[in-house]
């Protein structure tokens, strides 16, 4: 029986119980959202003692299933005010799986706001330890100190200075396969809620623990083998992502005229060649970096890389497509090395790279910086780290920054900044931004697959027709993948290859002992999760009026297609009608 670990920060106590039977078949996002919706008052302030943080590995995490190392962090999000689930790769989920943990629930708040604690978990149990010496440290120094004290095999989950400052852009970092804090549950400010609980880090030591027991180990192994083969043979998961990483998308999205440039004022960036995935790979190879790097054992795709500095030393993990875009085209910056420095700084400070890049784009439009001023961005990031008044404004995200600098064009939905696809030129993703339970979030229903890549079908990105149905189907599919603990990139294969979806379901059934049909799976992990999240948001005060894009997307044509976002309100309101 998997365990539910409760950490009560008001009494500084820890208890472990069996996961309730009603939640036995839930994992990852399905479990975090279910617990948050059941236990957190929807109207509470996200930084109050009433909020909780639920950290859960996916159903398959820790098993032999390929790419199953995602870890979900759920809470009421400080950036959005909605329910929030943000997931990350790294080695934390597999460590939790081996430790037999279904979820860790952080609740209450410590009496001493200046105290810092680290939660240590191993095969013997769990304990809270004072960790004042970690106060104010960046994620890199935090993890180095924990490795020094606990050995370098442990998995670490941590927050940086931004989380301690309770800034709404704060992320939760998870160590990668090399023990670096490079994988982040970035979106929505989950790190701020962890910080409000006084927790600086969680140390997971699965030494002596086997993989989680499977109902049908041989069946899981066989389905995993079939699924891994399909991933390795697919053009996106077997070739494009391993070769160029996620930033392979830069040239593709730019060519589609949908690469948001200088705070969403153009769809084409003249400097894209210098920051593309192809250029990134050339830099990595020329400096003897690692062009392909999995973020956890068992990932057969390996979309990440190690990006060296000019002397060949480690600078950062290869910045993801979203990170490169947010600080590149969106800020008018065409310098990959500068962007890698920003990525490193943001991983260390512990902030969401998408929200921060969007925030700097808004700040540039507001006159705080010139577009293209990469030195200014790096300087201001240090203000975020230090918690200066300006740093706190920027660290509060694009909406707050836009208000402070008199900007009317703020590309956010439900308080959260849009990622790297302009919704006027890729209308399906605009539907997802508008109607996701999480605020603007590309991963919630990644229509780029059909709108741009023609994977799993093709829907014209410039026409409003069919976008609502596309987004609806993908939002449901994503909730299931997030709950299984699978990397979202497996969706390229699942959507495209006959039997891949069945193999994914076979892995789940074999591991947890269910006999789910595709409809059963869709009901329990996909639709029910979205219903739960939408009900929480309704109780928190959100209505259909919040499922809309900012008005400038409907009135300001985007070059080069001169497109506006013209999906009707009726279509937007239809997205979740089938739940």
Q: In the bound complex, what is the minimum distance in angstroms from residue 287's beta carbon to ligand SF4?
A: 20
Of the candidates 64, 167, 299, 540, which one interacts with ligand SF4 according to CB under 6 A? 299
The C-alpha angle 429, 434, 438, rounded to 5 degrees, equals 100
CB 483 within 8 A of CB 30: yes
- Report the sign of the C-alpha dihedral through residues 293, 299, 302, 303, in that order: negative
What residues from 496 to 515 belong to the interface with ligand SF4 (CB under 6 A)?
A: none
Q: In the bound complex, what is the minimum distance in angstroms from residue 95's beta carbon to ligand SF4?
A: 15
**Closer of 91 and 508 to ligand SF4 (Cβ):** 91
Q: In the bound complex, what is the minimum distance in angstroms from residue 299's beta carbon to ligand SF4?
A: 3
**Closer of 173 and 301 to ligand SF4 (Cβ):** 301
Q: In the bound complex, what is the minimum distance in angstroms from residue 495's beta carbon to ligand SF4?
A: 16
Of the candidates 87, 190, 304, 353, which one interacts with ligand SF4 according to CB under 6 A? 304
**Closer of 301 and 400 to ligand SF4 (Cβ):** 301
Q: In the bound complex, what is the minimum distance in angstroms from residue 349's beta carbon to ligand SF4?
A: 21
Residues 6+ apart with CB under 8 A from 129: 117, 118, 119, 120
Q: Which strands sit side by side in the sheet containing 125-130, from one edge to the other?
A: 125-130, 117-122, 199-204, 155-158, 172-174, 183-185
Applying CB under 6 A, does 303 fall inside the site for ligand SF4?
yes
Three-state secondary-structure class, residue 172 = strand
Stretch of 2-10, 54-62, 297-305, 323-331 lying at the interface with ligand SF4 (CB under 6 A): 297-305
Across 109-164, where does the E strand assignment appear?
117-122, 125-130, 155-158
Q: In the bound complex, what is the minimum distance in angstroms from residue 305's beta carbon to ligand SF4?
A: 9
Q: In the bound complex, what is the minimum distance in angstroms from residue 178's beta carbon to ligand SF4?
A: 12
Calpha distance 381→429 (Å, rounded): 29
Bridge pairing between strands 314-317 and 83-88:
unpaired
**Closer of 68 and 396 to ligand SF4 (Cβ):** 68
**Closer of 90 and 366 to ligand SF4 (Cβ):** 90
What residues from 85 to 124 belong to the interface with ligand SF4 (CB under 6 A)?
A: 89
Stretch of 76-84, 104-112, 300-308, 458-466 lying at the interface with ligand SF4 (CB under 6 A): 300-308
Calpha distance 377→340 (Å, rounded): 12
| Helix (DSSP H) and strand (DSSP E) numbers for the chain | 26, 17
CB 261 within 8 A of CB 269: yes
Calpha distance 9→110 (Å, rounded): 5
Q: In the bound complex, what is the minimum distance in angstroms from residue 469's beta carbon to ligand SF4?
A: 27
Of the candidates 4, 91, 295, 528, which one interacts with ligand SF4 according to CB under 6 A? 295
Instruction: Give the CA dihedral 78, 82, 85, 86, nearest 10 degrees.
Output: -50
Instruction: With CB under 6 A as the rule, give the number of residues binding ligand SF4.
Output: 11
**Closer of 30 and 487 to ligand SF4 (Cβ):** 487
Applying CB under 6 A, does 453 fall inside the site for ligand SF4?
no
Calpha distance 575→534 (Å, rounded): 12
Stretch of 111-119, 190-198, 298-306, 470-478 lying at the interface with ligand SF4 (CB under 6 A): 298-306
**Closer of 98 and 116 to ligand SF4 (Cβ):** 98
Which contiguous run of DSSP H or E holds residue 15? Answer: strand 13-18
Q: In the bound complex, what is the minimum distance in angstroms from residue 487's beta carbon to ligand SF4?
A: 3
Applying CB under 6 A, does 220 fall inside the site for ligand SF4?
no
94 token code pair: 């597999």
Stretch of 296-304, 395-403, 457-465, 471-479 lying at the interface with ligand SF4 (CB under 6 A): 296-304
**Closer of 299 and 563 to ligand SF4 (Cβ):** 299
3-state helix, strand, coil in the chain (%, to 5): 45, 15, 40
Calpha distance 485→27 (Å, rounded): 7
Q: In the bound complex, what is the minimum distance in angstroms from residue 89's beta carbon to ligand SF4?
A: 4
Look up tokens 């993801």; give the residue.
320
Q: In the bound complex, what is the minimum distance in angstroms from residue 371's beta carbon to ligand SF4?
A: 30
Applying CB under 6 A, does 487 fall inside the site for ligand SF4?
yes
**Closer of 122 and 304 to ligand SF4 (Cβ):** 304
- Cα–Cα distances (Å) from 257 to 246, 267, 269, 416, 463, in that order, read 18, 4, 9, 23, 14
- Report the sign of the C-alpha dihedral through residues 425, 430, 432, 433, in that order: positive
Residues 6+ apart with CB under 8 A from 334: 269, 271, 272, 274, 275, 328, 372
Which contiguous run of DSSP H or E holds residue 52? Answer: strand 52-57
Of the candidates 28, 189, 294, 332, which one interacts with ligand SF4 according to CB under 6 A? 294
**Closer of 295 and 398 to ligand SF4 (Cβ):** 295
Of the candidates 275, 301, 400, 493, which one interacts with ligand SF4 according to CB under 6 A? 301
Site string for ligand SF4, 43-82 (x = CB under 6 A): ------------------------x---------------
Three-state secondary-structure class, residue 305 = strand
Count of CB atoms situated within 10 Å of the CB of 160: 33
Stretch of 196-204, 295-303, 328-336, 565-573 lying at the interface with ligand SF4 (CB under 6 A): 295-303
Of the candidates 433, 446, 489, 536, which one interacts with ligand SF4 according to CB under 6 A? 489
Applying CB under 6 A, does 354 fall inside the site for ligand SF4?
no
The C-alpha angle 345, 347, 348, rounded to 5 degrees, equals 65
Stretch of 294-302, 330-338, 404-412, 456-464 lying at the interface with ligand SF4 (CB under 6 A): 294-302
Q: In the bound complex, what is the minimum distance in angstroms from residue 30's beta carbon to ligand SF4?
A: 19
**Closer of 100 and 318 to ligand SF4 (Cβ):** 318
Nearest to 258 by CA among 431, 420, 457, 446: 420
Of the candidates 289, 302, 361, 428, which one interacts with ligand SF4 according to CB under 6 A? 302
φ/ψ region of 264 (left if φ > 0, alpha if ψ in -120 to 50, else beta) reads left
Q: Using CB under 6 A as the criterion, which residues of the chain lie in contact with ligand SF4 when the complex forms?
A: 67, 89, 294-295, 299, 301-304, 487, 489
């Amino acid at each position: 029986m998997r365990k539910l670990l409760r950490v009560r920060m008001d009494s500084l106590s820890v208890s472990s119980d069996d996961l309730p039977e009603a939640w036995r078949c839930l994992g990852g996002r399905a479990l975090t959202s279910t617990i948050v919706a059941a236990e957190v008052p929807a109207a509470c302030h996200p930084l109050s003692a009433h909020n909780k943080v639920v950290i859960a590995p996916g159903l398959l995490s820790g098993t032999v299933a390929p790419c199953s190392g995602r870890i979900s962090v759920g809470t009421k999000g400080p950036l959005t005010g909605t329910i929030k689930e943000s997931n990350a790769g790294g080695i934390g989920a597999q460590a939790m799986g081996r430790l037999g943990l279904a979820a860790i629930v952080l609740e209450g708040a410590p009496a001493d706001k200046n105290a810092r604690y680290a939660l240590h978990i191993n095969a013997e149990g769990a304990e809270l330890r004072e960790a004042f010496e970690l106060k104010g440290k960046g994620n890199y120094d935090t993890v180095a100190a924990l490795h020094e004290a606990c050995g370098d095999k442990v998995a670490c989950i941590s927050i940086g200075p931004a989380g301690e400052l309770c800034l709404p852009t704060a992320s939760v970092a998870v160590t990668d396969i090399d023990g670096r804090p490079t994988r982040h549950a970035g979106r929505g400010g989950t790190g701020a809620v962890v910080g409000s609980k006084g927790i600086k880090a969680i140390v997971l030591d699965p030494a002596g623990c086997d993989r989680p027991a499977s109902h049908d180990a041989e069946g899981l192994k066989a389905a995993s083998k079939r699924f891994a083969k399909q991933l390795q043979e697919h053009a996106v998961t077997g070739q494009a992502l391993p070769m160029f990483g996620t930033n392979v998308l830069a040239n593709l999205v730019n060519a589609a005229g949908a690469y948001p440039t200088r705070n969403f004022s153009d769809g084409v960036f003249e400097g894209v060649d210098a920051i593309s995935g192809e250029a990134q790979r050339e830099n990595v190879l020329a400096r003897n970096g690692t062009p392909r790097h999995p973020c956890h054992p068992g990932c057969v795709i390996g979309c990440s890389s190690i990006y060296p500095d000019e002397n060949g030393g480690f600078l950062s993990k290869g910045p993801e497509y979203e990170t490169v875009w947010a600080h590149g085209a969106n800020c008018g910056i065409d310098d990959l090395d500068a962007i890698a420095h920003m990525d490193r700084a943001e991983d260390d400070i512990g902030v969401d790279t998408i929200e921060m890049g969007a925030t700097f784009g808004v700040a540039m439009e507001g006159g705080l910086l010139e577009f293209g001023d990469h030195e200014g961005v790096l300087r201001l990031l240090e203000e975020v780290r230090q918690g200066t008044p300006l740093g706190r404004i920027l660290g509060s995200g694009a909406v707050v920054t836009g208000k402070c600098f008199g900007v009317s064009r703020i590309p956010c939905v439900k308080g959260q900044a849009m990622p790297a696809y302009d919704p006027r030129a890729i209308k399906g993703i605009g539907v997802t931004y508008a109607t996701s339970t999480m605020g603007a979030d590309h991963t919630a229903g990644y229509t780029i697959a059909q709108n741009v890549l023609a994977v799993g079908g093709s829907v014209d990105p410039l026409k409003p027709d069919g976008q609502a149905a596309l987004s609806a189907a993908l939002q449901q599919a994503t909730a299931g993948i997030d709950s299984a603990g699978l990397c979202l990139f497996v969706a390229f294969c699942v959507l495209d290859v006959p039997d891949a979806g069945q193999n994914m379901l076979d892995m789940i059934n074999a591991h947890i002992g269910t006999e789910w049909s595709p409809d059963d799976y869709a009901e329990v992990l996909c639709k029910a999760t979205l219903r739960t999240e939408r009900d929480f948001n309704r109780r928190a005060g959100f209505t259909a009026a919040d499922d809309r894009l900012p008005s400038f997307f409907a009135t300001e044509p985007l070059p080069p297609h001169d497109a506006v976002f013209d999906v009707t309100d009726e279509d937007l309101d239809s997205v979740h009608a089938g739940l």
